Amino acid sequence: MIELLLFLVVVVIVVSIHEMGHYLAARSCGVRVLRFAVGFGKPLLSRFDRRGTEWCL
């Protein structure tokens, strides 16, 4: 059971790093990013930064 939980945590971390790469590439090309989200469905937490990007978990 602990192996499954550890696997899921690692997958979330790896996917988040991958998606952050997309975010940074878009920002470096001057693209406005509206939302950066980890997970699917209704966000549990949501915050906006000074550039207007919504960060969701």
* Residues identified as active-site: 19
Rounded distance between C-alpha atoms, residue 53 and residue 50, angstroms: 7
Q: What is the largest CA-CA distance in the chain?
A: 44
Q: In degrees to the nearest 10, what's the CA dihedral of 37, 39, 43, 49?
A: -20
